[in-house]
C-alpha cells in the first residue's frame, strides 16, 4: 500500500512538472502567448512578428523567448529550416 501511494505522489509531481511553464510566466500569460502567436499566423521570424505577440500578450521579450524555448523543448514548436524562425504547433496553431 505504501508503494502505491508513493508511486501516485511521484506521478502527480511529475505530471505537474510537465505542464509548468518557464519561471515568471503564469498559465494565463502562456495562454495569451499562444493566442497572440496564432493571430500572426503561428510563425515568429523577426521583430515584426515578436513585437505584436509581446504587445498582445503583455509579455517582455525575455518572457516571450522563454516561452518559445519552452515550446521547442516540449515539441509544441519547431525551428524553421535555415534558421528562419519558429512555428508554434499547439493550440490554435496545431
The span from the CA of 34 to the CA of 88, in Å, is: 8
Supply the CATH classification number for the domain 24-93: 1.10.10.10
| Segments making up each domain of the chain, as ranges | 24-93
- Which tens digits make up the pLDDT trace of 3-58? 444 344 444 444 444 457 788 899 999 999 999 999 999 999 999 999 999 999 99
pLDDT value, residue 23: 86
34-52 in b/e form (b: 16+ CB < 10 A) is bebbbebebebeeeebbee
- Which tens digits make up the pLDDT trace of 59-77? 999 999 999 999 999 999 9
Per-residue cell: 66:
522563454
Amino acid at each position: 500500500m505504501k508503494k502505491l501511494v508513493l508511486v501516485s505522489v511521484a506521478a502527480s509531481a511529475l505530471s505537474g512538472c510537465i505542464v509548468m511553464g518557464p519561471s515568471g510566466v503564469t498559465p494565463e500569460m502562456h495562454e495569451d502567448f499562444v493566442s497572440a502567436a496564432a493571430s500572426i499566423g503561428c510563425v515568429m521570424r523577426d521583430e515584426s512578428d515578436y513585437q505584436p505577440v509581446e504587445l498582445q500578450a503583455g509579455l517582455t521579450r525575455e518572457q516571450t523567448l522563454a516561452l518559445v524555448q519552452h515550446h521547442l523543448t516540449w515539441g509544441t514548436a519547431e525551428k524553421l529550416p535555415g534558421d528562419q524562425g519558429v512555428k508554434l504547433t499547439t493550440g490554435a496553431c496545431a
